[in-house]
Amino acid sequence: MCPATPLEAYAEEICSSAKLISGYCSLEGYSHPSFDPQAPLVTLPPDAPLNVRQARQKIIDSSSRIQQLATEPSEYLPNLAVQYQRISCIRWLCHFQVLACIPLQGSVCYADVASISNVPERQLRSIARMAMTSGFLCEPQLGEVAHNATSRLFVKNPALLGWTEFMTRFYMPVASKFADATEKYQGSDKNNETAVNIAMDTELSSFDFITRDKELGRHFGAYMKGVQASEGTNFRHVISGYDWESLGDGFVVHIGGAPGSICIALAEAFPRLRVIVQDMPDVVANSPNLSNAQPKAIRNRIKTFPHNFFHPQPIRNANVYLMRMVLHNHTDDESVEILSNLVPALKSSPSARLLIMDTVLPNPGSVGAVDEALMRYRDLTMMQVFNTKERELGEFEELFEKASSAGNGNGNGGEGRLVLKKMGKAVGSALSMMEVAWESSLTNGTTTGHLTNGVNGINGTL
């Protein structure tokens, strides 16, 4: 029997995965994925079995690969041109608040929507129909527009409108100036020598530029809120990504953890765990407002602690020090300083762990094409906006090695090194969880890790 061609193999992968998902939906009574205007906002529940969630990822990856195989090289640029028009259409619809003028149920004629939103009807039809080619809105009958699950989410979650505005008004023009920035600044890591400085004609750092513009700052806040709530960076991956239960009534320091949402989620999920929200004094000052709004059983186990992580960690007896999406905001030198300031605390308690939850860039082609593209999108965004980056595994290990050398030279305790004990990445998560320990040169290096679901090595899947 002849082996399947790549085209056939991906098609078979899609077929078998689709049958698994359909079987699960039928068995559990969930709606099947469809283009129906009233399709649910969530296709598969977050607690769906692992093999079902993996099947979904396989469909996404295989459908992307099969489209690449079926597309001729000469069609590459025309297809690429479609993408910037699609995102421009979404921005147009959000800018004129068109989505709010369409009923959440049923359809409405284009003329009525155009009149309510005060836009030209002909432009509205062209914009909406282009958006429909990407699965946004639908036209159940000719001449009438309606919401589908995707567009309806933009009405129910207004943060997505701000995310769209920020992406199109800020990120898109910045990305278009990346070549100019490389040419002008020649790989500088200064935070005011980026593509932002060229695109926005400013000498400020990106953060200062964003925060000084009230409207842009508001859109940035909505963008961050939307990112935190999205599947890839959802808080539940923190909860499920480590064996917190094993800590009992131990305590966790969340470094850079303001306003405290993750600490609250941990305290809710693990009734004995004690947590500390640690951040800059002016940032952490507002965290008690959030924690005080929680039930007494939760707020009594949440504390705040002002601290600048460019100074040595003052809390020496925590079970876990958690850093989530921190290091990607900083250059290599800054990241080494942040890590080395944790070394004395880790030396003080050999069983303590540093958990780093961040993007770990994969080797090319080693993960699904869509997942890889999203990770590389974030890498480029960090470069273009902040002159920082997402890192490959080897780059993280270099940071650990340099921080170890700095830690050995601080005169606090014996020599040793920061060791990556385990790493895992949950299905659907954009971030990997790295478990790091201080390993004294006097030990033999045997340590029991706590990453969940039996991950016993590097690049495991949670």
Q: Is 116 left (phi over 0), alpha (psi -120 to 50) or beta?
A: alpha
Concatenate the DSSP letters of all residues of 8-35 into one string.
HHHHHHHHHHHHHHHHHHHHHTPPPP--
Retrieve residue 88's tokens: 């421009």
The H or E element spanning position 224 is: helix 214-229
Residues 6+ positions from 252 with CB-CB distance below 8 Å: 244, 263, 266, 273, 274, 275, 276, 318, 319, 320, 321, 322
- Whether omega for the bond prior to residue 271 falls within 30 degrees of 0, making it cis, is no
Helices (runs of H) and strands (runs of E) counted in the chain: 21, 13
Token pair, residue 126, equals 């062209």
Q: Which are the contacts of 316, defined by CB distance < 8 A and separation ≥ 6? A: 344, 345, 348, 349
- 254, 328, 330, 450: the catalytic one is 328
Question: And the tokens for 219?
Answer: 């859109």
User: Within its chain, how far is the Cα of 409 from the centroid?
Assistant: 35
Token pair in block for residue 252: 């966790």
Q: What is the dihedral of CA 30, 33, 39, 41, to 10 degrees?
A: 80
- Residues in the chain, total: 462
- 450 catalytic, yes or no? no
- Of the candidates 175, 156, 157, the one whose C-alpha atom is nearest the C-alpha of residue 167 is 175
List the structure tokens of 194. Answer: 């980026």
Query: How far apart (Å, rounded) are the C-alpha atoms in residues 6 and 185?
Result: 43
Say what angle helices 159-166 and 214-229 make with each other, to 10 degrees.
Answer: 120
Query: Are the CB atoms for 338 and 309 separated by under 8 Å?
Result: yes
> Exposure string (b/e) for 172-203, b if CB count within 10 Å is 16 or more?
eebbebbeebeeebeeebebbbbbbbbbbebe
Residue with tokens 């990106």: 206
Of 208, 313, 214, the C-alpha closest to 256 is 313
Catalytic residues: 328
